[in-house]
Structure 1
Amino acid sequence: MRIVRIVLWATVAVLVAVTAAAVLLREQAAETQAAIGGPFQLVDQDGAPATEAMFAGRPHLIFFGFTHCPDICPTTLADLSMHFEALGPAGDPIVAAFVTVDPERDTPEVMKSYLSSFSNRIVGLTGSEEAIAKVVADYRAHRRKVPLEGGDYTMDHTAAVYLFGSDGDFRGTIDLTESNDVQLAKLKRLVGAS
C-alpha cells in the first residue's frame, strides 16, 4: 500500500511539474511574439503622420533599409513588387512598409522619389533619428552606420522582410536567399490565398 501511495504522489508531482512548465513555455512564447513590433510615430513618403494603426486588421510587411543601398534594398523591393503583381487582387489587403535606417538622408521627398520605381503598395516611412532608433529596437532589427573613404557612409542593416498577420502577430520572415516561389508562397499564406 505504501508503494502505491508513493507512486501516486510521484505521478501527481510529475503532472504538476509538466503543467507548470507548459504554462511557463506558453507565457514565454506570447512574450516573444509581443516583443517584435510596437507603437511608432513616423511620417510617410508624403510627409503625413504614420503610426502602427496603418496596419490594424491587415496583414503587413516591414522591411528596414535605405535609399542609398547598392543592392539588397532595391533587390528586395523589386522582388516584393513582383510578388504583389503575381498575387493580384488577392494581395490587396497587404500593407508593406519600407522603414529607413538612414533618416539623415532619407527625407520624405527622397523616399517618395526612390519608391516611385517600385510597387505603389509599398509605403516609405521615415522620421527623426530617435523615432527610427525606437522602431529598429522595437522590431529587433539591426542598423549600423559604416564610414567609407572620402567621408561618406553606408548602412549595415537587417535584410529580412518581417511578416505579420492581420491580428498583428509576427508570422516569420522572408529572406533574400529564399527562392521567389518560397517567398510568394509565404505571402499567399499571409493573406490566405491559395
Structure 2
Amino acid sequence: MADRAMKLIARTLAMFLIAALLAACSGPSALPRAPLEGAAIGGPFTLTDQDGRQVSDTAYKGKYRIVYFGYTFCPDVCPVDVQNLGAGLRLLEKSDPGLGAKIVPIFISVDPERDTPAALKQFVSAFHPRMVGLTGSPEAIAKVAKAFAIYYKKGDPAPGGGYLMDHSRVAYLMDPDGKPLALLPQDGKPEAIAIELKRWVK
C-alpha cells in the first residue's frame, strides 16, 4: 500500500514538473513571432518627399516605419486612417518617448498625377509633425505599390470633374531593415494602434 502511494506521489510530482517546464518555455521570456515575419513585402524605392527631395528607402534605415498607401484627394477613408495612425503614434510618444522616436510614419501616394510635393506637405503635416509624404512618377509608384502588395486603380471621371482612386487599405509596420512585422489596425481606435506599436517596436 505504501509502495503504491509513493508511486502515485512520484507520478504527481512528475506531472507538476512537466507542467512547470512547459509554462517556463511558453512564458514571457519566449518572444512572439511577428505576424508578417518572412513575408515578401517591401523593397527598395526612390521617390520624392513633400519637400521636393528625392529620397530612397535607405534614408529610413535603422527606423521602424509605418507605411500607408493612399491619396490626398481621398474624400473619407484615407484622412480617417491617417488621423488614427498619427494619433496612435502620438499616444506611444507620450507614454514612451524613446520608442516613439524610433518610428517614422510614411504616406505613399497612389495618385501621383495630382499629389505633388506641395499637396502632400499640406496633407501629412495635418496628421503628425514627423509624417513623411512620398510621391513620384507613375512608373515609380507602380513599382513600390507592387513591392508592398498594394492594389490601386484610377476610377472613372466624376460628373463634376475629378476622379476617385480605388486602392488597398492597409498600414504596415516595417522593422529597421525595412522588413515587414505586422499590420496595424488603422481603422480602429488610436489606443489599439499604440498597443500594437509597443508590441513590436524594441
**Structure number with higher helix proportion:** 1
Superposed pair shares fold, TM > 0.5: yes
Q: Show structure 2 runs of 5+ residues with no match.
A: 1-35
Measure the CA separation in 2 of the matches of 1:93 and 1:176.
19
| Mapped contact 1:59–1:190 kept (Cα < 8 A) | no
Measure the CA separation in 2 of the matches of 1:101 and 1:118.
18
Q: Show structure 1 runs of 5+ residues with no match.
A: 1-28
Cα distance, 1:127 vs structure 2? 0.5
2:79 is aligned with 1:79: no
Higher relative contact order (CA 8 A, sep 6+): 2
Superposed CA RMSD in Å reads 1.7
Q: Equivalent of 1:45, from 50, 54, 58?
A: 50
Q: Equivalent of 2:106, from 97, 104, 128?
A: 97
| Mapped contact 2:81–2:187 kept (Cα < 8 A) | no
Q: Equivalent of 1:59, from 58, 64, 79?
A: 64
Measure the CA separation in 2 of the matches of 1:180 and 1:82.
6
- Structure (1 or 2) with the larger CA radius of gyration: 2
Q: Equivalent of 1:70, from 75, 84, 87?
A: 75
2:125 is aligned with 1:116: yes
Measure the CA separation in 2 of the matches of 1:108 and 1:83.
25
Identity, % of aligned pairs? 41
Measure the CA separation in 2 of the matches of 1:96 and 1:155.
22
The aligned length equals 162
Query: Residues 177 and 111 from structure 1, CA distance in 2 versus in 1: closer, same or farther, beyond 3 angstroms?
Result: closer
Q: Which one-letter code corresponds to 1:120 in the other structure?
A: P
| Mapped contact 2:42–2:179 kept (Cα < 8 A) | no
Q: Equivalent of 2:190, from 174, 180, 190?
A: 180
Q: Equivalent of 1:106, from 115, 118, 137?
A: 115
Q: What is the DSSP-based 3-state SS (H/G/I as helix, E as strand, rest coil) of the residue aligned with 2:155?
A: strand
Measure the CA separation in 1 of the matches of 2:75 and 2:161.
17
Cα distance, 1:150 vs structure 2? 3.7
- Under a length normalisation based on structure 2, what TM-score does the superposition of the two structures give? 0.74
